[in-house]
Structure formats: C-alpha cells, structure tokens
Structure 1
Amino acid sequence: MDDDSSIARLAAMLREETQRARPGDKLPSSRDLMRRLGVSPVTVSRAIALLAAEGRVVTRPGSGVFVAPVREPIAEAPDPSWQTVALGDRMVDDRGVVSLLARPADGVVPLTGGYLNPALRPVKALAAAAARAVRRPDTWAMPPLNGLAELRRWFAGEVGGTVTQNDVLVVSGGQAALTHAFRALAAPGAPVLVETPTYPGALAAAGAAGLRATAVPVDSGGVRPDLLAEAFAVTGARVFYCQPTLHNPTGATLTRERRDQVLAVARAAGAFVIEDDFARYLTTGPVAPPMVAMDPHGTVVHILSLSKISSPSLRVAGLIARGPAAHRLRAVQVVESFFVARPLQETALELVGSPAWRRHLGAVRQEIATRQAALLAGLARHAPSAVVGLVPGGGMHVWVRLPPGTDEGAVVEAARLGGVLVSPGRIYYPSEPPGPRLRLTHTAPDNLAELDEGIRRLGAVLTS
C-alpha cells in the first residue's frame, strides 16, 4: 500500500541498513525493494527522499543509492545571552581607561596616555633595584599584610605632617587604591562627588562600585569650594574625589588657601576627601603640601603612586588613612587581593632609596618643562584654533578647547586616520561636556621631533 505508514516502515528499514553498512556502500535497488517488499515505486522513491533529506544516503542517477559519508555533527554555536539576565543592568564601563592604555600602531604618533614614554622611564635603575631586591633571602616570603614597614615609613615621610607609617597601606597602584577607597567609604547606590572634568579611571572605579558620580565644577584654581558645599548639601554625599595637584585633565593646582577651604567644607559635611596625589613628582615648581598633611581628623584618604613617575608595571602606591576608615581599607584589600607581592615592594624600596631616584626626578621634571614648551609652541604654530586655557606647572598633559560647534568625535577619528592619537574631552566628564575639548600628552611621543609631527598632523585635521 502506498500510504504514509508504508513509507515510514520502509524508511525505518533503510535507516537500519545504513547503520549496518559502511559509507559508500550501495543499497538495494528500487526494483529489488519493490519485489521483496511488495511496495510501489512511489513508496520507494519517497522513503529514499526522506533518508536523503536526513543526510543518510546520496542518490546518483543511473548508478543507484549509496550510504552517505559520515559527517561530523555541526556544533551548536555557543550562546551566552543567558548571562544578560544573571548579571543585571549594572555595567562596568572601561572604555575611557582602555583608550588611555592602548598602544599606538607603527607610524602613529601618540598624544595620549597616562605614563612616561619608555625612553623617560628609569629602566636601568629599576633593573638594578630589582636585582638587588631578589637577592634578599626573605624577598619571596609573605610580607606584612599592610606592606613592608620600611616602604610604609618612606611613604609617610614623603607626605609629611603627622602621618606615620602606621597610617599607610601599600596597595597595587593608584587605580587599585581608588577601587579600594570607593568600595570602603561608600555603599552601592550612594552618591560620590567628583570634579568635572575628572580622571576617567575614577569615574570607572566609582561606577564599578555602584556609586553615582555627581559633578562639581572647577575653574583655573581647581575645584570651587562654594559649589562643593552646595553639592554636599544637595546630594547628601559623604565622599569627594579630587586631584588637588596638577588636576587631570585641566592641570589646575589648588592653593594652600583653597585646600583649607575644601577641608573645611568636607568636615562640615561629615565627609571624606579622597586625595589623588598622582602628580606629586611631576611638578616643575613649588606646590602646597598635600591635604592629608593638613588634616589631623582623618577626613582625607590620600593616594600616592609610584607608577606615573617610574613605570606602569611598578604597581605600588601608598594609601593613607586614619581611624575606622583605615581599618576598613585594610580589610577590603585583604579580602580582595591579600597583599602586594613582596618582590615588587622590595624593588620599589630599593629604587626610592637609591641615588638614582633623585637624579631621575630631576631629569623628568626638566624633560617635562622642555616638552610642555615644545607642545605649546607647536600648537601656536600648527593648530592655533586649539586654545590652551591654563598652562600647568608641570604634569604630562595640556587641556585644550576647540572652536564652538566643532565635532569632537569627528576630530578624534580624523586625527587617528591622519596618524595621531588624542584623548577626546568627553571621557573626562561624568555628565554632559560643556563643549569640545582635547587632552594632549607631551610625554607620550619618543622625542621632540615626533611631538612636533603629532601636533602638525592634528593641526592639519583642525584646519581641514
């Protein structure tokens, strides 16, 4: 009978036969199947068509039907979309940080970055310090959880005031210090005040901790204390993050008077000040003492990193705090990462205790002054439409304003295509930027000639 059931029975019988046979074996002919099973030609052809659709047989007109070659099953494409629900809607935004850490392609001039060019780093001094450190018999032993006593004593001496080694926690660089501080000092969902503009890594760390960044405007003298007081009152925030020396990106430095005012405002609000002193060793002139040295009450949580002035891989910083906040910060580090690797701490201690350290500081400060002057002269010559609002007293960067109406993103992309990398201003703002800006890094190029070439390429984009 030529009904569906007879087709199904014949197809089942042929499936079993293909399983017993080898690939390439010939199946019985249609005539044999018709004679042996008493089925019609239509039943045979439809059963074979089913097996062909399943990939079990191949038909060769004029030759017959053959068992198909064995094919590896096609693996199902991985589908991690289920994680979207499990992770929730809180996102860690690393774009601003990654853009500052990216390495330029060959032939591209970097006018962006957060560290000294390799030619300016104390590579020989670091190598010598590391060699001395690893020869110590206890270098591979577990260090004290809060850091080597000698290194903590050194950090305390650098900060001054009444800070002691007992107030210092050695952490894995400035970014880790920020992460610890945000998590320790504020609960997820709480507001945190930041300067605007500010360091993108701080915005990313605050966001990763689940905090809501609220902008406090700065002027040529740094954060405005009157607006800081208003922001504390409006938001109820209990943490303010700031960079009082060579503020990133504007280059502003708080005077002693304004530092006193910021401390008074924070104390009145019952709030902490996270003082990111990343540029302490990048100044080319005198600077006021750090706020932590002016603060006996534990208001300031201070960060002093060695990475900016030495090498990005020397991830060692001092995190200074007093009172219950200090205990919580130590607890956060122990829970998250135990401690900083002792060989790295020993290397840092050897470096800062060597004569090469002071020589390096002097050389870098002289190079910063030379490069900053070259950058300013290059902008005046090649890109006069890029306005420098403030000439900082050191640092790695200059903050420039583009003409109103300029498409900042288009400029950054055109510059990249033209062979020069610059930092877009928008990544430095926790809210809407007031206008098109660029941050230009003069310590990133290999030499003054490359620096001038980068400015020339940028100027060609701005005048096109």
Structure 2
Amino acid sequence: MTNDNSSRIVDGLRTWVAAAAPGAQLPSTRALVAQYQASPVTVQKALRALATQGLVETRPGAGTFVRAVRTTRPADYGWQTAALRAPHAPARSVATALRSTPNDVIAFHSGYPDRELLPERLVRAALVRAARSEAALSRPPVAGVPELQSWFAHELRATTPAGVSPPTPGDVIVLPGTQSGLSSVFRALAGPGQPVLMESPTYWGAILAASQAGVHVVPVPAGAHGPDPAELTRAFEETGARLLYAQPNYANPTGAQWSAERGQQVLDVVRAHGAFLVEDDWAHDFGITTTPVPLAAGEDSGHVVYLRSLTKSVSPAVRVGAVIARGPARDRILADRAAESVYVSGLLQTAALDVVTHPGWQTHLRGLRQQLRARRDLLLTGMAEHAPRAHIENVPTGGLNLWARLPDGTDLYQLTRDCEDAGVIIAAGTEWFPAEPTGSYIRLNFAGPNPAAFPDGARIIGEVLQHHHG
C-alpha cells in the first residue's frame, strides 16, 4: 500500500457514484483500502473530496452514501403582490452617494468625508470608555442622554443673540442620525398627502424621507444665495403648505450659504404664513472660510425646527444627531421617534458626547477646516484646468461638495458610465432634484479619499466631456 495518490481513488469512485442510485451506500473504508491498495488516510482524503463536491454524504456510525439530488422548488412570492398592493411611494435604488467602490478608483461620489478627515483616535478611545461605562448595559431616556441634550442646546445657545430666549436641554431630542429625524418631522408636522416646500436642488435623503412619509413635495427654486423670498411666498400661498425644508449653511449639493439678510427674509415669509422652517444644519462642522450661524439661534417662537448631525463629522459608525423644537411640535416629533425606535443607543450617545467634549475636538475642527480648504482648492484648480466645460458657479465656503453645470444636452447616464469605465466615480445631479432637473449637473465630493489623484480625476472628467461634445 505505497500509492497515496487520492486523485486515482476520487476518479474511480466518481465513476461508481455516477452509475449508482441516489442513497446507495459506498463500500466500507476497509474494502476501499483493499480495492485501491491505498492507506486508510488516503481513502478518507478521497471521500472528503467527494463530499466537498456534493457527490456523497457521510452519516456517522452508518457509512458513506451517494447524495440524493434534491431539486429546489422555486419560491413563489406572487401572493405578496396582492397583499402589499401598490407602493405609496415609488421604489428608489440606493443613492449614488452610498455606493461602495474599489480602492483603485478616483471617488468623487460619496456623501461622507474620507477617514483621514475623522477624529479617529478620539472616536476609538471614546468607544472603549463607553463600553466600560454603565451606558453599555442601561437604557437611556427616550429623548436622549441628558448630558448630550445639554451639549446640543449649548451649541445653539452659543450663537443666540441678546434678547432671544435660548433653547433648553428639554427642547432637544437625540436621534439615531438626522435622516430618521427628517422622516419624523415630515410625518409629525405635515402628514401624508400634505404639501412640503423644498429648495430645488436639495438633499436627496430629504426627498426620499418625504416620499416615504407620503407628503407632497413642492420644489422652490434656489440659487447660490438660497430661495427667492417672492417665489417662496407664492409657493406658500398657492399650496397652503405649513412646512419648508432648507439648508441655509453649505447646502447639499450646491454649497450655497444664505446671507443673514436672506435668512431673515425667509424667516419673515415663514412666520407670515404660520409655518415651520426645518433647518438642516448637516454641515455645521465643515466651515472653510466662514463660520455658520444657524437661523434657529435667532428664533425663539417655535417656527424653526433645527436638525444637527454628528454622523459625518465624528464617524459614520456613530450615527447620532439631534432635533431641537419647541412647543407641541417637539412633543409630536418625540412621540413619532418613540414609536419608530423607542430610544437611541446609550453607548453611541455616550461615545459621541465623549468625542465632542474632549479638548482635542476643537483642535481637530481647526485642522479639518484647513484640510477641507486645501482639498476644495485642489479640485477647483483641476476642474478649471482640465474640465472647463464643467461650470462651477459657486465656490462653497463650507461643506463637502462642488456643484458643476455641464453643457446642455449632456447625456448624464452615459457620462457617468464612461467616467466609471475610466476609473472615476461621479454622481449625476438628477438625484438632488425633487422634480425635473433644470439642467445637467454633477456633484463632486472634495472630501473623498486620495486627494493626490484629484487632478487626474478632473482630467478624466474633462476628456470624457470633450468626447461627448466634440
């Protein structure tokens, strides 16, 4: 028994199995050792190979048998079509900003900052400390950990002018990310079938949240300085809407920042119509050449519902945000949140609070401002040099994105496909319009990975545009 080549045994047994009936028992190991003049170890190795191929199965104490071929009946889910009826909102594919991509591409599509721009050491240390604290085993209050509520209230209070009543910790509801907060606001303050005004273009997630909440989105055109107060007034009067969603600071996708005068004009329109302004301050920590002052800081009569996120600036893994609202509006939003998620993980709340109250947080934000400016300017220079057909009207004073207008008639679908084939991922601007796009746009995230590749990415975009338009 010197031949230990198990492949000879596998070939022989495969022929035997092919001629045998399902469930037939193979000869015993002792019989196979004698038949093939091989060692027991070699025979067992051959049997394991056949089992891996799905040809045989071993039953402990009984032996090895030819595996029966089981035909799987295709699942029939047709009954669900009748049970579910037509969806109340059209199904949407995963947003381009959430796509995962290989490391060997130049990625301009993401909605999140690169890992290099996060306070990684602060986050890791905070998670370790939180895991060792009572937060790892206890249930937090529904509205949030009191210390974190106080921090959010203090952040807004720091910019509250004299004569205006600042928010209190009790006005704060901690959220598992502001995306879920948007859904609650639309459900609690508007409701299915009711009109909600939105800047156009605007954050794709707000459009999605409104769609899922069943509200009727009414676009209001917005340029580099925000919505036109006259257009906003007309929209309120024509629709009877009581809710406006907007991003006064570093709007996604345009990067627009309202002036203090425009903010006051918008607030006057909102108050005159007895309405709410939902102020999404998603990029509060991403100022570059300006420091954002929320409209909510100067408004104490309950017309502004303020959303503040820490997800992008602390870590995507620490999904924590807050909504600050006053009066019955706050109560309705809290009731919706309690029904939706009961409470936010106390572990994540504790970790987030640890990060933003650490002395290193402010140091990190100062360095982040410089890094964002360098990345923004690098991409702006690259686009101006290599892709002059992509017109960037507004140089953002904060945020993460550039918003570029392409020549009329650009086939955005084919453009994004051709760029991807060349190793550059971009986001077509169509996802940021609540209704029909007003032109051909792309959004470019200058906070993405590998800024050294930005000039090459801009060159590829320019070459593809040149090919499309000659």
Give a deviation string over 1:312-335, Cα, whole Å, max 9, x none: 111000110011110111111111
State whether structure 2 residue 457 is matched by structure 1 residue 454. yes
Contact 1:408 1:424 in 2 (8 A): yes
Match of 1:38 in 2: none
Q: 2:151 aligns with which of 145, 149, 154?
A: 154
State whether structure 2 residue 436 is matched by structure 1 residue 432. yes
What are the equivalent positions in structure 2 for 1:326-365 lying under 5 Å apart?
326-365=330-369
Give a deviation string over 1:205-264, Cα, whole Å, max 9, x none: 000011111100012211211111111111111111101101111111111111111111
AA paired with 2:84? L
State whether structure 2 residue 119 is matched by structure 1 residue 122. yes
Measured after TM superposition, the shift of residue 70 of structure 1 is 12
Measured after TM superposition, the shift of residue 406 of structure 1 is 1.3
Instruction: State the alpha-carbon separation in 2 of the partners of residues 450 and 341 from structure 1.
Output: 38
Match of 2:137 in 1: 140
Match of 1:263 in 2: 267
Q: 2:235 is paired with a residue of what secondary structure?
A: helix
Instruction: State the alpha-carbon separation in 2 of the partners of residues 341 and 126 from structure 1.
Output: 16
Measured after TM superposition, the shift of residue 94 of structure 1 is 6.6
Match of 2:100 in 1: 103
Measured after TM superposition, the shift of residue 88 of structure 1 is 2.7
Q: Which has the larger radius of gyration?
A: 1
Give a deviation string over 1:1-51, Cα, whole Å, max 9, x none: xxxxxxxxxxxxxxxxxxxxx979xxxxxxxxxxxxxxxxxxxxxxxxxxx
Distance 1:79 1:123, change over 3 A: same
Instruction: State the alpha-carbon separation in 1 of the partners of residues 104 and 289 from structure 2.
Output: 34
Match of 2:415 in 1: 411
Distance 1:427 1:98, change over 3 A: closer
What are the equivalent positions in structure 2 for 1:82-93 lying under 5 Å apart?
82-90=79-87, 92=89
Deviates more, 1:138-147 or 1:387-396: 138-147
Contact 2:88 2:214 in 1 (8 A): no
Contact 1:141 1:342 in 2 (8 A): yes
Give a deviation string over 1:421-460, Cα, whole Å, max 9, x none: 11101111111111110000111122x2122222222122
Instruction: State the alpha-carbon separation in 1 of the partners of residues 417 and 462 from structure 2.
Output: 14
Q: 1:306 aligns with which of 303, 307, 310?
A: 310
AA paired with 2:287? T
Instruction: State the alpha-carbon separation in 2 of the partners of residues 288 and 23 from structure 1.
Output: 76
Contact 1:121 1:309 in 2 (8 A): yes
Structure 2 unpaired stretches of 5+: 1-19, 23-65, 161-165
Instruction: State the alpha-carbon separation in 2 of the partners of residues 455 and 342 from structure 1.
Output: 43
What are the equivalent positions in structure 2 for 1:367-386 lying under 5 Å apart?
367-386=371-390
AA paired with 1:132? R
Q: 1:319 aligns with which of 323, 348, 359?
A: 323
Number of residue pairs matched by the alignment: 398
Q: 2:402 is paired with a residue of what secondary structure?
A: strand
AA paired with 2:443? R
AA paired with 1:323? G
Instruction: State the alpha-carbon separation in 2 of the partners of residues 74 and 173 from structure 1.
Output: 45
Instruction: State the alpha-carbon separation in 2 of the partners of residues 139 and 74 from structure 1.
Output: 47
Contact 2:284 2:292 in 1 (8 A): no
Coordinate RMSD, CA, aligned: 2.0
TM-score by length of 2: 0.81
Match of 1:393 in 2: 397
State whether structure 2 residue 370 is matched by structure 1 residue 366. yes
State whether structure 2 residue 171 is matched by structure 1 residue 167. yes
AA paired with 2:138? A
Instruction: State the alpha-carbon separation in 1 of the partners of residues 106 and 228 from structure 2.
Output: 35
Match of 2:229 in 1: 225
Measured after TM superposition, the shift of residue 343 of structure 1 is 0.6
Q: 1:388 is paired with a residue of what secondary structure?
A: coil
Q: 2:313 is paired with a residue of what secondary structure?
A: coil
AA paired with 1:462? L
Q: 2:267 is paired with a residue of what secondary structure?
A: helix
Match of 1:14 in 2: none
Contact 1:92 1:204 in 2 (8 A): no
The alignment-based identity, stated in percent, is 40
Match of 2:17 in 1: none
Measured after TM superposition, the shift of residue 124 of structure 1 is 1.0
Q: 2:199 aligns with which of 173, 195, 199?
A: 195
Instruction: State the alpha-carbon separation in 2 of the partners of residues 298 and 228 from structure 1.
Output: 19
Structure 1 unpaired stretches of 5+: 1-21, 25-68
Contact 1:108 1:421 in 2 (8 A): yes
Q: 1:357 is paired with a residue of what secondary structure?
A: helix
Give a deviation string over 1:347-392, Cα, whole Å, max 9, x none: 0111011012111111111111001100110001111111101001
Match of 1:243 in 2: 247
Distance 1:219 1:75, change over 3 A: same
Instruction: State the alpha-carbon separation in 2 of the partners of residues 276 and 23 from structure 1.
Output: 68
Instruction: State the alpha-carbon separation in 2 of the partners of residues 296 and 414 from structure 1.
Output: 50
TM-score by length of 1: 0.82
Contact 1:146 1:339 in 2 (8 A): yes
Measured after TM superposition, the shift of residue 290 of structure 1 is 1.0
Give a deviation string over 1:294-318, Cα, whole Å, max 9, x none: 2111111110000121211110001
Distance 1:462 1:366, change over 3 A: same
